Amino acid sequence: DAGVIQSPRHEVTEMGQEVTLRCKPISGHNSLFWYRQTMMRGLELLIYFNNNVPIDDSGMPEDRFSAKMPNASFSTLKIQPSEPRDSAVYFCASSLGPEIGELFFGEGSRLTVL
């Protein structure tokens, strides 16, 4: 069975450019999460969707970050404009429902902003 699929796996871009990260959750999962992982701050929850609706975006760093989930099988995280401090690994995860049982993580998108 396919797990959570993220793309791209690696992205190198220059400061000021727009970055779009993509995620396909596991079919049938109703909850989707975007996390950011850095050495300094560890794993941080950026945004949580349930049934395609954003429920909690309190972790989104600032207006440069936006996330959408137009349907149950696709989500994007966009950074515009990107800055060097955005360099991190971004993980998408999905689960069957809002009550935490098991989160299934993708392999992550490693972003480097020069």
Chain residues in the site for other proteins (CB under 8 A):
4, 31, 33, 42-43, 45, 48, 50, 55-56, 91, 93, 95, 98-100, 102-108
CA–CA distance from 80 to each of 35, 41, 71, 84 (Å)? Answer: 17, 21, 22, 12
Got the DSSP string for 40-62? TTEEEEEEEEETTEEEE-TT--S
In the complex with other proteins, the residue whose CB is nearer, 14 or 56, is 56
Find the largest Cα–Cα distance for the chain. 39
Shortest distance in whole angstroms from residue 72 CB to other proteins: 17
Shortest distance in whole angstroms from residue 101 CB to other proteins: 8
Shortest distance in whole angstroms from residue 32 CB to other proteins: 10
